[in-house]
Structure 1
Amino acid sequence: MNKRSFLSTALAVQVLALVPGLVRAQAPAGLAPGPVRITSTLPAGSGPDTVARAMGEQLQARWGRAVVVDPRPGGAGVVAINAMKGQPPTGNDLLVADVGNLSINPLIFRKLAYDPEKDLVPVALLYKTAFFVAVSADGPYKTMKDLIAAMGNKARPLSYGSNAVGGPIHLGSARLEGALGVEMLHVPYKETGQLYAAVSTGEVDWAYGSIATAGPLVKGGKLRFLAVADSTRSPAMPDVPTLAEAGGPGGIDALSWVALMAPRGTSPATVDAINQDVNAALRQPAMAERYAAFGFAASPGPAAQVGDLMRADRARYAEVLRRVKVSVD
């Protein structure tokens, strides 16, 4: 090797070492030639879309091939899932879906165009996120105890909002309602932007919201977080108490999660290889930075944990739906 070749090779190795995951640049076993497409049930520009694109960048660097994120929101996830579920099970077509698509839809849709258990294969958990109790910053509720006291006023039932009938926010709120033994008015909105604007103006009394969705209005002084519906405080907002700490019921959490899925028939070897690369990406500082901005919690682990979450949350929401009657044609 001449001096010029040696220096070029040494420089290339140094550059690769600076980019996490690029040294291997090897696609998982089973992937067909060509790009990888990640279809998403979640809208472009949302927090989940942002981290899905960040994950796509990490996988593209690791695999040495294009990884494209294709948001197709609509139809409670049906649009995206139908576009992906029949694709060849090589690992070149993946899906980003949330708890609503995977655990709740089978409970509330009389005719659902897909079966999450039969049409899809869990690959990796991308993140979990907890919901906070959000109220207007200028409203009368300064603490969770204030809000709970008002919930018990039968002369003026309180209202809570959600971004979808039968969605995680709606059913999580109904779960809190049941735990407190009160009745409130549910007001659904079409978009999260409309929902939190309505909370900020007092059009509805409160709503569950995440740091990704409602956090910007908290920072802007329009909303206040009274409590987080989780067993522990959020590292992103450690000053906000848990529901139990704030005087609410214990053991009542409200969480959402997003997972990476593949079409039925994708081989266990391919699933395992993608799972390992996703988990490696989740441990990268660049991903940790993206996650921290939205209050998302990474939970690297085997693909089986997604299936466990799907089944556990289906049972949890089935219990809520026995009291809150929701069905969609």
Structure 2
Amino acid sequence: MKRLLAALAAAALVPAALAQGAADFPTKPVTIVTPFAAGSGPDAVLRLVSDKLGKLWNQRVTIDNKPGGGGFIAIEAARRAAPDGYTLIQFDSEHIAALPHLYKSKNFVTLQHFDPVASLFRTPFFVAVSSQSKWNSMKDLIAEAKAKPGQITYGSWGVGSPGHLGGQQLDALAGLQMNHAPYREVSQLYANVGTGDVPWAFASIPSSQGIYKAGKLKYIAVAATKRVPQMPDVPTMAESGGPAGLEVNSFVSLLAPKGVPEAVKKKINADVAKAIADPEIRARFDTFAFEPLAWSPEEITRQAEIKSKIYGDLVKRGNISLD
């Protein structure tokens, strides 16, 4: 009986201990692994957020850039870490939702290995064409693509990227047949769109603003249901004559190796929300046309599942594989 009472007493202390552990978190430095290269838009935002978190937590927050390998270099660096919240990984929605469909031979489902913890931002994508292009709307682009099946090419920053899958979705919704040209270098992609060597591409503000500000690009639509405040003169996809249901965007979140205590996840989620509410970070988001997000882990999962369904259908339709 004494042993039973002792065991019950110990069990009763566990929730309190976990809550105390979450309240104290972190008691040592935190590492955030990212598959994005140093200097990229997601990396720049992550460094601002990590600086705010470091001050809030009174602990060092280190960014570990591990680009390449379709995200798997970063994944391997983070997946075997202890599930205690001290190792996080930055993913975009494609690492979460598209990667399992693109690398079927790896049998890797992101959310079977990582738990969503906190959201950071969502970025919209614009349809970019040369400033000299005769296309001034999606209606123009679609009309020519229909008149010349298999002859219009669009570029993207890689097979399976939002720019590629967005083009596949446009094909499906508008009944088109266009060619895809993947690029290794994002700067080269938009340089070629600017010269007209590639007729069009989806583009985010940070990836294309240099060519845009040089007057070599124009945006004929944003693939969204609402106009973007930073580019109020650019019409939505529907306003420009494109499919009303076509939305192309990517959201970026922080995840952790599966098994992080709920109390720790909630604390990180709340503290990240505080960080991205900071005026300095909001100002940087505005520069990039990033939409701040403060989703719960459950909402991140729900949004990822929606994208996974869309991406799975597109990958199957286009017979796309990175195996």
TM-score after normalising by structure 2: 0.90
Displacement after TM superposition at 1:264 (Å): 1.0
SS in 1 for 2:116: strand
Counterpart among 249, 260, 272 of residue 278 in structure 1: 272
Provide Cα deviations, 1:39-87, integer angstroms capped at 9, x if missing partner: 1011110111000001001100100010111111111110001101111
Q: Provide the rounded CA distance (Å) in 2 between the counterparts of 1:78 and 1:115.
A: 12
Q: Which residue of 2 aligns with 1:49?
A: 43
* Structure 1 equivalent of residue 289 of structure 2: 295
Cα deviation code 1:101-128 (max 9, x no counterpart) = 1100100112337431121010111111
Offset, 1:142: 2.6
Instruction: Tell me the number of residue pairs that the alignment of Structure 1 and Structure 2 aligns.
Output: 304
Match of 2:162 in 1: 168
* Alignment pair present for 1:60 and 2:54: yes
Structure 2 Cα separation of the partners of residues 38 and 249 of structure 1 = 38
3-state DSSP of counterpart to 2:317: coil
How much does 1:144 deviate? 2.5
Residues 99 and 258 in structure 1, CA contact (< 8 A), matched pair in contact too: yes
Q: Which residue of 2 aligns with 1:99?
A: 93
Structure 1: segments with no counterpart, 5+ residues: 1-25
Aligned residue for 1:212, secondary structure, equals: helix
Q: Paired residue for 1:136?
A: 130
* Aligned partner letter, 1:258: V
Q: Structure 2: how far apart are the matches of 1:311 and 1:30?
A: 33
Letter in 2 for 1:262: A
Percent of aligned pairs sharing the same letter: 38
Q: CA 1:112 to 1:242, structure 2 compared with 1: closer, same or farther past 3 Å?
A: same
Distance 2:301 2:26 in 1: 25
Counterpart CA distance in 2 for 1:279 and 1:181 is 41
- 2:236 maps to which residue? 242
Determine if contact 1:94/1:261 at 8 Å carries over to the other structure. Answer: yes
In 1, Cα distance between equivalents of 2:150 and 2:80: 50
- Shift, 1:202, TM fit: 1.2
**Residue 272 to residue 216, structure 1, CA distance change in 2 (3 Å):** same
Instruction: Give SS of 2:221's match.
Output: strand
- Structure 2 residue 255 is matched with structure 1 residue 261: yes
Quote the residue 1:198 is aligned against: 192
Distance 1:288 1:188 in 2: 32
Write the letter of the residue equivalent to 1:190. R
Q: CA deviation at 1:262?
A: 0.7
Structure 2 Cα separation of the partners of residues 97 and 261 of structure 1:
7
Is the CA contact 2:26–2:59 (under 8 Å) kept in the aligned structure 1? no
Paired residues for 1:153-192 under 5 Å? 153-154=147-148, 157-192=151-186
Amino acid of the structure 1 residue aligned with 2:295: G
8 Å CA contact 1:30–1:91 kept in 2: the answer is no
**Is 1:74 matched up with 2:59?**
no
Gaps of 5+ in 2: 1-19
What is the CA RMSD across the aligned residues, in angstroms?
1.7
State the secondary structure of the residue aligned to 1:323: helix
Deviations 1:226-252 (A, max 9, x none): 000001001111110001011111111
Q: What is the rounded CA distance, in whole Å, between the counterparts of 2:183 and 2:175 in structure 1? A: 24
* 8 Å Cα contact 1:123-1:274 kept in structure 2: yes
- Match of residue 39 from structure 1: 33
Aligned to 1:251, the other structure's residue is in SS state coil
Q: Relative to structure 2, which stretch is displaced further, 141-150 or 247-256?
A: 141-150
Amino acid at match of 1:245: E
Matched, 1:123 2:91: no
Give per-residue Cα distances to partners, 1:203-239, cap 9 Å, x unaligned: 1110000111112221221111000000100111111
Distance 1:75 1:155 in 2: 33
Of 300, 317, 322, the residue aligned with 1:323 is 317
After TM superposition, list the pairs within 5 Å mapping 1:7-18 onto structure 2.
none
Amino acid of the structure 2 residue aligned with 1:150? E
Residue 16 of structure 1 is matched in structure 2 by none
Alignment partner of 1:310 is 2:283: no
Deviation for aligned residue 1:305: 1.3
Structure (1 or 2) with the greater helix fraction? 2
CA distance in 1, matches of 2:315, 2:255: 26
CA distance in 2, matches of 1:219, 1:101: 30
User: 1:145 touches 1:246 (CA, 8 Å); kept in 2?
Assistant: yes
Q: Offset at 1:301?
A: 2.6
1:217 and 2:211 matched: yes
> Secondary structure of 1:152's partner?
helix
- Report the residue type matching 1:300 in the other structure: A
